[in-house]
Amino acid sequence: MATATKSEYRARDIEVLEGLEAVRRRPAMYIGDTTARGLHHLVWEIVDNSVDEFLVGEADRVVVTLHRDGASITVSDNGRGIPVDKHPKTKKSALELILTTLHAGGKFSDKNYARSGGLHGVGASVVNALSEEMVATVRRDGYEWTQRYKRGKPTTPVKKVRPFRGRGTTIFFRPDPQIFRRTQFSAETIRQHLEDISYIHGGLKIVFQDETKGETHELHHPQGVAAYLEKLTAEEQKRPVHDQVFAVQRDDGKTRIELVMRWTEATDEQIRSYVNGIRTHAGGTHESGLRAGIAKAVRNYMEVHEIKQKGLTITNDDIREGVLGILSVFLSNPVFQGQTKEKLNNPEMQGMVEGLVRPALETWLNNNPSIADAVIGRIVLAARARLASRTAASEIRRKSASRKNGLPGKLLDCRSTNPDESELFIVEGQSAGGSAGMGRDSRTQAVLPLKGKVLNTESLTASRIMANQEIRDLVETLGTGIGPDFDIRKLRYGRVILLMDADSDGYHISTLLLTFFFRHMRDLIRQEKLYIAQPPLYRIVVGNETYYARDDAHKEEILASLPANRKVEISRFKGLGEMTPQQLKETTLDPKNRTLLKVEIESQLEADRTFQQLLGKDASERYRIIMEEASLVDDLDV
């Protein structure tokens, strides 16, 4: 346990962080974390600024270069160039002001940027603060200008280098190894991200120069999101229910909404949403409006055409099953959840998207009766499959004596016989299983503790897998069978939740289980039945109030929100077994308070490649990764 303040608290204890020191002190607040994800977020921040020039019609080309060392990046565009003249209030060059000051930029009003992804005004300055070295080169007003920085501080004044007829901005930066444990960029991660952007911003030319491999990729897709949808359909190997794509867009000068979608025979729903070109992985109000618009349009169509199925109730999930869509929204004042911009919070966007999609989709269905028949047939099949699943589950009579005798003795089952309301926690170890068993709601929550490391099922046959006691207990508990014999209708629980320690062993066990589910129970993932629990890593006590933090970034966020004069006590949980049943209930088991991560297959090909790389028989790629990462390990469990 650590104490953040001393018993004597006076004015001299107050810290004033100047310039960008706050960013360096708590980088997770600005880029999410300091892992590979946060490292690449630096690239996205600079690229977003170049894309903003495209959005206002001032640029049409962005060049991103990954240099030979693999640890430095240059982003260049042919936009207007960052202003270099003196700011009237600060008397500093605008270039220096933008790159060294939080919340300084030209995007807080719509005078220069009507639609921008970088409205926090912290992106470029945060990258500067977290870089060992940055060089800004600006071409405008007939000259080329430059300034150098080190860890957020200028090392040279803004210099006029030479006469230059062109225009644009070039930013070179090298992330700081004092901040990031690993500063090597992934060329494939950058290429994929840039390719996504080139689809969302149809017409923008992006060049990715990968000097580590001597490759150049030119990414240009004038057909935009329509071409993106075709690419995803092929990559995900999803068979379309109809060939013609539903497409709708609206642009009133302030807000632009563009949607392309189709129904497929897949059993999952996949919506990729973007706001001002930024991928919103966690969705938001624009996605909520889309889902509501699809459901209402289909229901209105069925009602007008008096389409009814006796004894069958159509749910919104039935309607959206198999939908593959791309939603791109551009607006002047996006409100994101956090600096990493993964969720849109603008409340008005839900009504705007729904108001566009609902009438347009209903009209499209009316004008294309053959497509409408195929879509409605697909929806009815989804509803019948769901009904069959519920009927089969009821027929199993999972509480009967004969079935109960076939269940593992260590299973702490729940009392409910309704799969729709019950859930199974797969827990690491007997100690954690005991805490979960005492903290759960025994009516709807079951607990299955697993002993030791789970079998690595990658490349194993079903017979070898079922010879393992832990896997056999898991399969018998779920009741679905595996592989070709898997039957989702026999699933005994509506949710299957992995509950592991927040350490290397826990992550390893989660990966092994995800491998098993991906290879042998994939429909469990496709039908959104598999989740990962997020137990807290830290307990923060402030007076009579207690806070729980999921990770280091969440801890920093909580600490930043607390008054400066409060005494804070921080303790770190070493594992689930350290938590009392009440703590585990309050933070991880209770649906009112917990956070669950839904397991989804964003790209089946990428998931397949990842599992083969991490757990397959060929150890060469694994050896390469270990050798690259070995020098970065601070604390190794052996």
Mean pLDDT of 609-633: 67
Bridge partners, residue 207, by sequence:
63, 218
Asked, for residue 14, whether it belongs to a domain, the answer is no
- CATH code of residue 86: 3.30.565.10
Question: What token pair was written down for 328?
Answer: 């791109």
Asked, for residue 29, whether it belongs to a domain, the answer is yes
**b/e map 200-227, b = 16+ CB within 10 Å:** bbbebbbbbbbbeeeeebebebeebbbe
Same-domain status, 406 and 471:
yes
- Chain-wide mean pLDDT for the chain? 84
For residue 33, the tally of other CB atoms under 10 A from its CB is 18
Mean pLDDT of 372-382: 90
What tens digit of pLDDT does each residue of 168-196 get?
999 999 999 999 989 999 999 999 999 98
Asked, for residue 204, whether it belongs to a domain, the answer is yes
- Helix (H) / strand (E) containing 65: strand 61-66
Give the confidence band of 404 by pLDDT, cuts at 50, 70, 90: very low
- How far apart CA 1 and CA 455 sit, in angstroms, is 36
Higher pLDDT, 522 or 62: 62
- CATH code of residue 349: 3.30.230.10
Tell me what pLDDT residue 8 has. 52
Asked, for residue 583, whether it belongs to a domain, the answer is no
Report the side by side order of strands in the sheet with 246-251. Answer: 246-251, 256-263, 323-330, 270-275, 278-279
- How far apart CA 376 and CA 359 sit, in angstroms, is 17
Same-domain status, 330 and 200:
no
Same-domain status, 464 and 380:
no
Same-domain status, 306 and 332:
yes
Got the DSSP string for 593-610? T--EEEP--S-HHHHHHH
Asked, for residue 436, whether it belongs to a domain, the answer is yes
Tell me what pLDDT residue 5 has. 42
Same-domain status, 268 and 180:
no
Which of 102-106, 329-333, 566-570 has the weakest average pLDDT? 102-106
Asked, for residue 599, whether it belongs to a domain, the answer is no
What tens digit of pLDDT does each residue of 131-151 get?
999 999 999 999 999 999 999
Same-domain status, 342 and 425:
no
- CATH code of residue 523: 3.40.50.670
Residues recognised as catalytic:
428, 501, 503, 505
Percent of the chain with pLDDT over 70: 87
Asked, for residue 607, whether it belongs to a domain, the answer is no
* Per-residue pLDDT at 341 exceeds 90: no
Which of 49-53, 391-395, 466-470, 533-537 has the weakest average pLDDT? 391-395
Percent of the chain with pLDDT over 90: 45
Backbone CA torsion sign across 24, 29, 35, 39? negative
Same-domain status, 288 and 408:
no
- How far apart CA 138 and CA 168 sit, in angstroms, is 6
Question: What token pair was written down for 279?
Answer: 């991928």
Last residue of a domain, one of 475, 508, 535: 535
Last residue of a domain, one of 494, 518, 535: 535
Give the confidence band of 120 by pLDDT, cuts at 50, 70, 90: very low
Distance of CA 29 to the CA centre of its chain: 16
- Helix (H) / strand (E) containing 390: helix 369-396
Long-range contacts of 557-562 (CB under 8 A, 24+ apart): 557/28, 557/29, 559/4, 560/26, 560/29
> Nearest 5°: phi and psi at 466?
-75, -10
Q: Which residue has the tokens 């966020």?
A: 557
Same-domain status, 65 and 145:
yes
Distance of CA 277 to the CA centre of its chain: 15
For β-strands 256-263 and 270-275, DSSP reports them as: unpaired
Same-domain status, 110 and 142:
yes
* Per-residue pLDDT at 638 exceeds 60: no
What tens digit of pLDDT does each residue of 480-537 get?
888 777 888 889 999 999 998 877 778 888 889 998 998 888 889 888 899 999 888 8
Higher pLDDT, 540 or 503: 540
Question: What token pair was written down for 468?
Answer: 């393992």
Asked, for residue 467, whether it belongs to a domain, the answer is yes
Same-domain status, 443 and 511:
yes
Got the DSSP string for 437-493? HHHS-TTTEEEEEE-SSPP--TT--HHHHHTSHHHHHHHHHH-S-SGGG--GGG-S-
The domain total for the chain is: 3
Same-domain status, 361 and 269:
yes
For residue 613, the tally of other CB atoms under 10 A from its CB is 14
What tens digit of pLDDT does each residue of 191-213 get?
999 998 999 998 899 999 999 99
Long-range contacts of 297-300 (CB under 8 A, 24+ apart): 297/357, 297/358, 297/359, 297/360, 297/361, 297/362, 297/365, 298/361, 298/365, 298/375, 298/376, 298/379, 300/358, 300/362
Domain of 405, in residue numbers: 397-535
Last residue of a domain, one of 365, 392, 419: 392
The residue among 522, 521, 562 whose CA lies nearest residue 541 is 562
Same-domain status, 254 and 325:
yes
- How far apart CA 510 and CA 450 sit, in angstroms, is 12
* Per-residue pLDDT at 632 exceeds 80: no
